[in-house]
Chains A and B, each alone.
Chain A
């Protein structure tokens, strides 16, 4: 097993505000990592640094054996192996569902309509949508459907790494549960590595094989959920040992 992601002594600073103070971890291939932390603890910043939208002030992030923010050609090759699902889907509002899903394919150079239409059909079926949904515009979709279409677009090139920013935020409990099941099913089938930011204890328990806890600009715990629960930090106790958490984790 190779390492999917290696985060090495990452420091991040915005002006005077220190966000990360030496974050350090290695995520093996095929794992599902949940990033947890209080708001403002730099989870999303770390995620953006892994995607390459932002650079750490110092330190190095390696994704699938390649440094993020390397040479232009390298970065492009890397971003083709990586699918990103943004918090609000980030579907292109001027394109319909079909064109949104076909977009990465067209960018990669696939133009034949017969292949595109079959691939889009496969993607729609994968994420549990009907073929007719392909002709809807993003503004006509419900919250759950937006997430599904965005997932279909993120997975269309069969990436090795899937990045999710709050995958269940804004979904009702039923939609959120079925989205977690969908991710679970797809992960079992396609074996990609997942990194996600989440506040949802249910997702952490049912989906994540690894949990990383960020607090006070540092990584205070990293490992399977059971191991993280043993950590004796005040944030961990607050987050995992309250009335609601007890019910979910029981």
Chain B
């Protein structure tokens, strides 16, 4: 077998027609291999109509023929059982192989209402599986909490500190930046409206209330859900792929104690702190914008702020942040354990984790808003 890799024009697959003894003969030449697959396909498509009238196929001048090209030719021959082929045994064998091959058939079942119902049932069942697994996770976390309370030495302190650093300290930059920018935008847009009514001084109350009660915790939570929630999900998922989860189980170490609890505790601690940080950055942005557009000095702003925002709002913000943190960590771990050992599942569940975490954060926020409707407003 020669290599025939050099792209000389004589290598290209060619064919020509020759009438021989009153029969239409096609003489093929050149290299007919998968390397020239595009040329072979183009040639066969161009000559499709004429080739159907051919009765004898002459392969004597073909330098090289492989299985793929033979398959294409076999198809053009109309998948006939006995085409008149003039070829050496080696090439003839290829056509015989195609002749003998049974295609693999995908057992796809046809559409039916039963299948439709089954698909809906499947959706319901998978939703139930989510709820069930979530409850199991929460339950085992409570049990772990009880264990740790009985024997505080079992608290995975090193893991908690590590997650605190990864999810908390390393998020300081992005939360400050986003908070600062949102503060500027909010303050600038509100001040334009307030100026029309001559009610400039209310900018302090508007900013203070919205940032401390709503935006600070929410912004921090959404950023952490996208940043650390996805990381937690992917981390647990990769541990499944590399069988590290099984190794932990084999050593008799509880997944929830070693993997879930540190994440939950760390976010429970980190989220309120990040909220203070984001609040500060957003207020700083707001103060600067108010100073610039409304000429309210930072000193005046800071002196008026405690009087216009009731203290309850600060604690409400902390409480919300803590609940957000627990929700983000739990959802991230829940989806992490659902990852199957393949690339597609890893991407899918990580996306689901972030979407579910952000949705849950907004849902919890709405619940808080309703529960504390008349508290801390004045």
Residues of chain B in range 93-137 having any CB-CB distance to chain A below 8 Å: 97-98, 101-107
Which residue on B lies nearest to A120, using beta carbons? Answer: B104
Which residue on A lies nearest to B66, using beta carbons? Answer: A158
CB neighbours (8 Å) of A131 from chain B are 102, 104-105
Which residue on A lies nearest to B39, using beta carbons? Answer: A109
CB neighbours (8 Å) of B101 from chain A are 118-119, 121-122
Which residue on B lies nearest to A133, using beta carbons? Answer: B104
A109 & B104 in contact (Cβ 8 Å cutoff): no
Also in contact, A64 and B5, with CB within 8 A (given A80-B35, A94-B342, A121-B101): yes
Residues of chain B in range 338-378 having any CB-CB distance to chain A below 8 Å: 340-344
Of A31-39, A134-142, A171-179, the one touching chain B: A134-142
A112 & B104 in contact (Cβ 8 Å cutoff): no
**4 smallest A-B Cβ distances: which pairs?**
A93-B342, A117-B103, A94-B344, A118-B101
**B104 CB contact (under 8 Å) in A66, A134, A158, A191:** A134
Q: Does B24 contact A (CB under 8 A)?
A: no
A2 & B3 in contact (Cβ 8 Å cutoff): yes
Also in contact, A191 and B1, with CB within 8 A (given A115-B72, A158-B66): yes
Q: How far is A132 from B103 in the complex, measured between Cα atoms in Å?
A: 11
Given A94-B342, A105-B34, A110-B34, output 11 extra A-B contacts at Cβ < 8 Å: A81-B5, A93-B341, A93-B344, A109-B37, A109-B41, A117-B103, A118-B101, A120-B104, A158-B33, A158-B34, A158-B68
**A93 CB contact (under 8 Å) in B67, B68, B106, B343:** B343
CB neighbours (8 Å) of B33 from chain A are 158
Q: Interface residues of A toward B: which range? A: 35 or more
Q: How far is A158 from B41 in the complex, measured between Cα atoms in Å?
A: 18
Which residue on B lies nearest to A116, using beta carbons? Answer: B103
Residues of chain B in range 24-41 having any CB-CB distance to chain A below 8 Å: 33-35, 37-38, 41
User: Which residue, A81, A118, A137, has most C-beta atoms of chain B within 10 A?
Assistant: A118
Chain A interface (Cβ < 8 Å from any Cβ of B): 2, 29, 64-66, 77-78, 80-81, 92-94, 98, 105, 108-110, 112, 114-115, 117-122, 124, 131-132, 134-135, 137-139, 157-158, 160, 191
Q: How far is A224 from B101 in the complex, measured between Cα atoms in Å?
A: 38
Q: How far is A158 from B68 in the complex, measured between Cα atoms in Å?
A: 9
Residues of chain B in range 48-94 having any CB-CB distance to chain A below 8 Å: 66-68, 71-72, 75
Q: How far is A158 from B33 in the complex, measured between Cα atoms in Å?
A: 9
Q: How far is A94 from B345 in the complex, measured between Cα atoms in Å?
A: 8
24 chain-A/chain-B pairs, Cβ below 8 angstroms: A2-B3, A77-B35, A78-B5, A93-B344, A94-B344, A108-B34, A110-B34, A115-B72, A117-B104, A117-B105, A118-B71, A118-B98, A118-B101, A118-B103, A120-B104, A124-B104, A131-B104, A131-B105, A135-B106, A138-B342, A157-B66, A158-B66, A158-B68, A160-B3
Q: Does B2 contact A (CB under 8 A)?
A: yes
B342 & A139 in contact (Cβ 8 Å cutoff): yes
CB neighbours (8 Å) of A110 from chain B are 34, 37, 41, 68, 72
Also in contact, A66 and B1, with CB within 8 A (given A80-B34, A121-B102, A121-B103): no
